């Protein structure tokens, strides 16, 4: 294998999303997690893309939905880390 092994992408995005959802600015997230600002931007892009597919095109509009809104919605769609599965239905974020 060449290079260093990659971390689990979903876990890295979750770390980034949690900080952004708290209202931490993206450059500060990058500094806190010791990653590049472009890594944070790619994570937000990936969260947006996933939300567009799952909940509709409005999530792709960076003017109408902030990174904080995207991060919060993305986290709502994910089960908490190390959590037991629940029978509660996930709210449809496309109807917000």
In whole angstroms, give the CA distance from residue 56 to residue 39: 24
SS3 for 48?
Answer: helix
pLDDT for residue 88: 45
Domain extents for the chain?
A: 9-78
pTM, entire model: 0.75
pLDDT for residue 28: 97
pLDDT for residue 42: 96
Instruction: Report helix angle 26-33 to 37-55, nearest 10.
Output: 120
Q: What is the mean pLDDT of each run of 10 residues along the chain (96 residues)?
A: 70 95 96 96 96 93 94 90 50 50
* Under 8 Å between Cβ of 85 and 79: yes
In whole angstroms, give the CA distance from residue 82 to residue 1: 30
């Amino acid at each position: 294998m060449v290079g260093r092994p990659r971390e689990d992408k979903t876990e890295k995005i979750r770390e980034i999303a949690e900080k952004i959802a708290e209202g931490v600015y993206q450059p500060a997230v990058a500094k806190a997690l010791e990653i590049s600002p472009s890594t944070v931007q790619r994570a937000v892009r990936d969260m947006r893309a996933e939300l567009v597919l799952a909940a509709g095109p409005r999530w792709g509009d960076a003017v109408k939905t902030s990174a904080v809104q995207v991060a919060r919605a993305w986290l709502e769609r994910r089960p908490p880390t190390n959590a037991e599965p629940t029978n509660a239905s996930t709210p449809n974020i496309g109807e917000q």
